[in-house]
Structure 1
Amino acid sequence: MKLYIAEKPSLARALSEALPKPLKKRDGYIEANNGDVVTWCIGHLLEQAEPDAYDERYKKWVISDLPIIPTKWQLKPKAQTKKQLTVIKKLIKQSKIIVNAGDVDREGQILVDEVINYCGASKTKIANAQRCLISDMNFAAVKKSVNNLKPNKDYIPLAVSALARARADWLYGLNMTRLCTLQGQKSGYQGVLSIGRVQTPILALIVNRHIDINNFISKPFYEVIANIETSDRVKYQGKWKPSAACEPFMDDEKRVLSKSLALNVIERINGQQGKIIKVAQDKKKQQAPLLYNLSSLQIAAAKVFSMSAKQTLDICQQLYEKHKLITYPRSDCQYLPKEHLNDIQAVTNAIASVSSKSQKMLADADLSIKSRVWNDAKVGAHHAIIPTARNKATGVLSANEMKIYELVARQYIAQFYPPFEYLDKQIHTDIASGLFISKQKDILSNGWKALFPTATKNKEAAEFSSVALPQVKVGDQVQCIKGDLIEKNTTPPKPFTDATLLGALTGISRFVTDLEIKKALKETDGLGTEATRAGIIELLFKRGYIVKKGKEIHPTEVGSQLITALPLQISQPDMTAMWESQLESISTKSMSYQAFINGVQGNLELLINEVKNISFTGLPKTTNKKVFRKKTKARTYKK
């Protein structure tokens, strides 16, 4: 008997439909006509054991016990899913071949693998286990995956990476949460001070932005505009570009802070002759944007519909599991394998059937266009989020489900539109040895941007001018009629919103202080993973560390004081982002599990010694011990 173990019941149902009929539904599994069986997990059936499983004394939180580091790690069944684990254990003993049908990521890999190992599968069964990779829950796609099973041992590095992540989270989160909570108690704070490798740096981003806003002092800066006339009396304007000699009078963003310098430039150019030193006219093209991964879809939904990251993820899960209208949503990829070129007609037909709005967009699509997203080299365990070939939802789509579906569909349809084309013209004018640049952009063809009218309207209004530049050539003499001083003021950074916070997390290298780590992280996925970011942000709200005011995300007093008190290594993203890089190295076998864990343990001991000397005196005094007891029972050491 071949036993398929799916990550969740919905995937098990889809998988069983690809097996020989008739199907027999049993208690906790589905049996196919050929004797093969499909069973399922319900998320993680196992969890890391609590500290008191290793030693009874750890029930009490005591600083002298830290760090708690298990010598032999233990998993324990979750109470609410123990029955299903018993079913799987019995089926594993009866099976000849086991198939891991977890989600196509490291979490899905370890989720099923740890059950197989925990339930006592023989070494032979483990060695011969197979892997079923399903990223599209429609019948044809599932059938294809069932007929194309891979050796499960090929994905062991992915499972090892997930195992390393889970144990490192336990070590770091549990020990630091206990220590910070106990240190807080010394100062009169009776709540839990939860610390996590991802949650704490995310909180720090929000707190530090709040501090930057409060401490911001607006400063004036200056621009000079030259009003110029050609020999044919055609007028145009040029903006002064300061030379390297002006850098002492400029800020980091190359803005001139010296008014006297700007006035001096105006005095020098008023009424002076100038000369054209460069004329450039380039026809430029912008290709359609890449397809969505989860983060980019969450950012788009936040901007367009003001949806939170969790809302978007939950809707995506419904579209994937219940309606089977989109592919696997927790993807970090924005490309498709070339074999998907064969599905274009089926997918676009389905889009037209599901959404009348999308059907209209397809009217001008050219399905023969092959965009940059069809790239095998860019596709890993999963591909971009796209509509499936299913042409009907299971039931009626809610308004929000339709919104997200149409976002995904539009991004796919855009791949079959021509490029956005525009003419970029520049004139460089020398006046009294100063450089003045004039720019003009003219739209030649909207191309794919015709599908995004509201999203690009404001941006293009600023970039594309209706004022035409004169016809001139290099060497032409011109006259500067006068210079104008433009005074502006620097503006404070804006509070994070759902969209900008997600953007910060996916581009975390901007916030990393260590130059070597910053360089290494330029091409990584950022802080956290596609699958975890939404949940961790939601966790910060639940723990009272952040609140939302309108669209803006602000820290609470507790959140602010916690970050202010913590050492920089805990609150900055450097360490966490480096973990992500190392975990990826484990999955590609370029780093060992033991080397990673040894590094985590060594750093943990240093941090504990440092935090022991910190006083959390700035935290508000609380006496709600009922809340304290309730929270200490929760697994507060998660990410």
Structure 2
Amino acid sequence: MKLYIAEKPSLARAIADALPKPQKKHDGYIELANGDCVSWCIGHLLEQAEPDDYDPQFKKWQFAHLPIVPEQWQLKAKTKTRKQLTVLKKLIKQADQLVHAGDPDREGQLLVDEVIEQVSLSATKKQHIQRLLISDLNLAAVKKSLNNLQSNREFIPLSVSALARSRADWLFGMNLTRAYTLAGQKAGFGNVLSVGRVQTPILGLVVNRDNNIANFIAKPFYEVLAHLETSEQQLFTAKWQPSKACEPYQDEEGRVLHKALAENVATRITEQPATVTELEQKQKKQQAPLPYNLSALQIDAAKAFAMPAQKVLDICQNLYERHKLITYPRSDNRYLPKDHYQQATSIIAAIANNGGQTEAICKEADTSKRSKCFNDGKVAAHHAIIPTTKQLKSAVLTSDESKIYALISRHYLIQFYTDYIFNETKVTVTIAGGLFKANAKQDVSLGFKQLMGKTELNDEQNLPALKKGQVLHCNKGEVINKITSPPAHFTDATLLSAMTGISRYVNDPEIKKILKDTDGLGTEATRAGILELLFKRRFLQRQGKSILATDTGKALISALPKGLASPDLTAKWEASLSRIADQQMSYQQFLTPLLTELSQFVEHAQQCDSQVFAHLPKTPPKRRFKRKAKAKGR
């Protein structure tokens, strides 16, 4: 008997639909006509054991116990899904051949592998486990995947990477949550202070931004515009570029803070001749952005519809599992296999039928054009999120589902549109020894941009036809008074963008380089959940579209060492986990230095200034720690 183990029931049903019939539905599995079976997990059926499962004395939170480091790691069945785990273990024992059909990512690999590990199997049986990778739940796509089974051995490093992440998150989350909760208790604060290697740096980003805004002092600065005229009486303006000699009068961003200096420049250039000393005129092309991965989709949905990340993910899961209109949504990849190019006509027909974009827009797509997104070398376990070939017979999507489907459809269609073409002119004018610059951008052909809304021009003015060496006249120099503005509070879109582009917030050049090669803070599958967790634990709050830290969140970050409140640590973790998946690092090489850091962080918690928690709301002593705080790792 061959047993297919899917990650969830919806995937199991899709697999069964592509296999021999008639079929019998049993409690927890589907029996096929040829005697094979399809069963399923319900997400993780197993979870890391609690500290008191290792030793009853750990039930009481005490600094003396920390750090808690299991000698032999234990998993235990989740109470709600224990019955399904029993069904699976029985089927695994009976099966002659196992097919791992977890989702095509790190967590999907681990959650099925760890169930299989619960059963004592022969080495031969383990060696012959097959891997089924499915990213599209429609029948034709599932059948194609069933004909392309791989050896599960090829994915062992991915599973080890996920296991290392899971255990490291447990070690940090469980120990440091206890440590800082106990520190808060010293000051009379009775709630749990959760610490995690991803959630805490995210909180740190928001706290730092809020502090920068609160401490911001507005400063006036000054720009100088030269109002220029050609001999044909064509007018345009150019902005002054301060010389090196002006640096003492500028801030770190090059803004002139000395009004008298700006006024002097404006006076000197008024009614003076000007010469075009540099002129660059180019026609440029811009290719369409790649199809979406989850983070890029969440960022655009937040900008367009003010949708929180978790809501976007939930809608995507519905579009994938229930409606089967999109491919696997928890993807971190923005490329497609070359053979997907053959489906373009069918996918575009589905988009038109399902209202993803108008029929006219779909007809404009040129399927003879092959986008750079079709690249086998850039595709790993999963590919970009795109529409499937399924055509709905009637309108069944909600308003929000239609919005997300339209975004995904648009980003697929633009792969078959022409490039955006524009003329760009950059001119440098010298007046009285000073340099002034003007830029202009003019649309030639909108191409894919006609689907993206209004194009953003660098400058609203149109520059006249100019030549290098041409003599102009400066009619007037004008001083423009401006005020520096504080950074904006984070929103869903900008916080997600910060998480994916976290290197922008790091000063250390070595760590910055590491971060540029990783996917940022968290993964595509976890970012939305981590943000929701921070709101649930009342570390973050919303004010309109803005995301702000609460007093509790600010107090926690102020008590933590910089290493925990910054993205540096988790960035190095993610880089190491990727190296484990690529077989460039061992599990032990990752975990050993981590344990040293953990001991140092626990010691810091014991010695930190707990009075930062004194002003927070108190919880009656008898209610403290009533709810068990689990470290879900992030």
Give the one of 547, 572, 579 matched to 2:541: 547
Is contact 2:173-2:196 (8 Å) kept?
yes
What letter is aligned with 1:111?
Answer: L
Specify the alignment match of 1:575 in structure 2: 569
Query: What SS does the aligned partner of 1:618 have?
Result: helix
Note the C-alpha offset of 1:84: 0.7
The 5-angstrom pairing of residues 98-247 of structure 1 reads 98-247=98-247
Give the one of 584, 592, 611 matched to 2:586: 592
What letter is aligned with 2:279?
Answer: V
Note the C-alpha offset of 1:427: 2.1
Specify the alignment match of 2:607 in structure 1: 613
Q: How many pairs does the alignment contain? A: 632
Specify the alignment match of 1:635 in structure 2: 630
Give the one of 504, 509, 524 matched to 2:498: 504
Is contact 1:299-1:498 (8 Å) kept?
yes
Query: What SS does the aligned partner of 1:521 have?
Result: helix
Query: What SS does the aligned partner of 2:439 have?
Result: strand
Is contact 1:278-1:429 (8 Å) kept?
yes
Query: What SS does the aligned partner of 2:516 have?
Result: coil
Question: How far, CA to CA, are the matches of 1:627 and 1:299 in structure 2?
Answer: 40
| TM-score calculated relative to the size of structure 2 | 0.97
Query: What SS does the aligned partner of 2:224 have?
Result: strand
Query: What SS does the aligned partner of 1:629 have?
Result: coil
Question: In the superposition, relative to structure 1, how do residues 144 and 366 fare at CA in structure 2: closer, same or farther (>3 Å)?
Answer: same
Question: How far, CA to CA, are the matches of 1:484 and 1:390 in structure 2?
Answer: 60
Is contact 1:172-1:637 (8 Å) kept?
no
Instruction: State the Cα deviation string for residues 7-29 of structure 1 (Å, max 9, x = none).
Output: 00000000111111111111111
The 5-angstrom pairing of residues 209-358 of structure 1 reads 209-355=209-355, 357-358=357-358
* Structure 1 gap ranges (5+): none
Is contact 1:324-1:393 (8 Å) kept?
no
Instruction: State the Cα deviation string for residues 180-232 of structure 1 (Å, max 9, x = none).
Output: 00111011100000000011111111111111111011111111111122233
Instruction: State the Cα deviation string for residues 298-350 of structure 1 (Å, max 9, x = none).
Output: 01111111110000000000100111100000000111111111110111111
Question: How far, CA to CA, are the matches of 1:477 and 1:568 in structure 2?
Answer: 57
| TM-score calculated relative to the size of structure 1 | 0.96
Question: How far, CA to CA, are the matches of 2:132 and 2:125 in structure 1?
Answer: 16
Specify the alignment match of 1:485 in structure 2: 479
Is contact 2:276-2:469 (8 Å) kept?
yes
Query: What SS does the aligned partner of 1:240 have?
Result: strand
Question: How far, CA to CA, are the matches of 1:476 and 1:375 in structure 2?
Answer: 48
Query: What SS does the aligned partner of 2:478 have?
Result: strand
Note the C-alpha offset of 1:78: 0.7
Question: In the superposition, relative to structure 1, how do residues 468 and 170 fare at CA in structure 2: closer, same or farther (>3 Å)?
Answer: closer
Note the C-alpha offset of 1:405: 0.7
Question: How far, CA to CA, are the matches of 1:237 and 1:440 in structure 2?
Answer: 11
Query: What SS does the aligned partner of 1:499 have?
Result: helix
Question: How far, CA to CA, are the matches of 1:402 and 1:505 in structure 2?
Answer: 27
Question: How far, CA to CA, are the matches of 1:358 and 1:68 in structure 2?
Answer: 58
Question: How far, CA to CA, are the matches of 2:359 and 2:113 in structure 1?
Answer: 42
Question: In the superposition, relative to structure 1, how do residues 356 and 200 fare at CA in structure 2: closer, same or farther (>3 Å)?
Answer: closer
Note the C-alpha offset of 1:356: 6.5
Instruction: State the Cα deviation string for residues 358-390 of structure 1 (Å, max 9, x = none).
Output: 433212221111112111121111100000011
Is contact 2:198-2:570 (8 Å) kept?
yes
Note the C-alpha offset of 1:637: 5.0
Note the C-alpha offset of 1:625: 5.1
Larger displacement relative to structure 2 (590-599 or 614-623): 614-623
Alignment root-mean-square deviation, CA: 1.5
Specify the alignment match of 1:433 in structure 2: 433
Specify the alignment match of 2:468 in structure 1: 474
Is contact 1:358-1:409 (8 Å) kept?
no
Question: In the superposition, relative to structure 1, how do residues 190 and 88 fare at CA in structure 2: closer, same or farther (>3 Å)?
Answer: same
Is contact 1:191-1:624 (8 Å) kept?
no
Tell me if 1:521 matches 2:515. yes
Larger displacement relative to structure 2 (115-124 or 208-217): 115-124
What letter is aligned with 2:257?
Answer: L
Question: How far, CA to CA, are the matches of 1:627 and 1:396 in structure 2?
Answer: 47
Is contact 2:356-2:406 (8 Å) kept?
no
The 5-angstrom pairing of residues 50-61 of structure 1 reads 50-61=50-61
Note the C-alpha offset of 1:487: 1.2
What letter is aligned with 1:24?
Answer: K
Specify the alignment match of 2:28 in structure 1: 28
Question: How far, CA to CA, are the matches of 2:521 and 2:356 in structure 1?
Answer: 38
Question: How far, CA to CA, are the matches of 2:333 and 2:218 in structure 1?
Answer: 40
Larger displacement relative to structure 2 (260-269 or 73-82): 260-269
Tell me if 1:559 matches 2:559. no
Note the C-alpha offset of 1:57: 0.8
Question: In the superposition, relative to structure 1, how do residues 124 and 393 fare at CA in structure 2: closer, same or farther (>3 Å)?
Answer: farther
Note the C-alpha offset of 1:153: 0.4
Specify the alignment match of 2:65 in structure 1: 65
Instruction: State the Cα deviation string for residues 362-421 of structure 1 (Å, max 9, x = none).
Output: 122211111121111211111000000111279821111111111100111111111111
Question: In the superposition, relative to structure 1, how do residues 283 and 561 fare at CA in structure 2: closer, same or farther (>3 Å)?
Answer: same
What letter is aligned with 1:606?
Answer: Q
Query: What SS does the aligned partner of 2:18 have?
Result: coil
Specify the alignment match of 1:420 in structure 2: 420
Note the C-alpha offset of 1:237: 1.5
Query: What SS does the aligned partner of 2:176 have?
Result: helix
Is contact 1:322-1:394 (8 Å) kept?
no
Question: How far, CA to CA, are the matches of 1:499 and 1:158 in structure 2?
Answer: 30
Question: In the superposition, relative to structure 1, how do residues 33 and 637 fare at CA in structure 2: closer, same or farther (>3 Å)?
Answer: closer
Question: How far, CA to CA, are the matches of 1:357 and 1:406 in structure 2?
Answer: 6
Question: In the superposition, relative to structure 1, how do residues 637 and 96 fare at CA in structure 2: closer, same or farther (>3 Å)?
Answer: closer
Question: How far, CA to CA, are the matches of 1:91 and 1:261 in structure 2?
Answer: 82
What letter is aligned with 2:503?
Answer: S
Question: How far, CA to CA, are the matches of 2:306 and 2:624 in structure 1?
Answer: 33
Question: In the superposition, relative to structure 1, how do residues 248 and 382 fare at CA in structure 2: closer, same or farther (>3 Å)?
Answer: farther
Question: In the superposition, relative to structure 1, how do residues 394 and 38 fare at CA in structure 2: closer, same or farther (>3 Å)?
Answer: farther
What letter is aligned with 1:355?
Answer: G
Note the C-alpha offset of 1:464: 4.7
Question: How far, CA to CA, are the matches of 1:348 and 1:333 in structure 2?
Answer: 21
Note the C-alpha offset of 1:468: 3.1
Question: In the superposition, relative to structure 1, how do residues 483 and 395 fare at CA in structure 2: closer, same or farther (>3 Å)?
Answer: closer
Note the C-alpha offset of 1:444: 1.1
Specify the alignment match of 1:442 in structure 2: 442
Question: How far, CA to CA, are the matches of 1:125 and 1:634 in structure 2?
Answer: 39
Note the C-alpha offset of 1:355: 0.9
Question: How far, CA to CA, are the matches of 2:153 and 2:482 in structure 1?
Answer: 62
Query: What SS does the aligned partner of 1:612 have?
Result: helix
* Structure 2 gap ranges (5+): none
Is contact 1:319-1:325 (8 Å) kept?
yes
What letter is aligned with 1:250?
Answer: Q
Is contact 2:169-2:631 (8 Å) kept?
no
Specify the alignment match of 2:84 in structure 1: 84
Is contact 1:544-1:558 (8 Å) kept?
yes
Query: What SS does the aligned partner of 2:440 have?
Result: strand
Question: How far, CA to CA, are the matches of 2:581 and 2:411 in structure 1?
Answer: 30
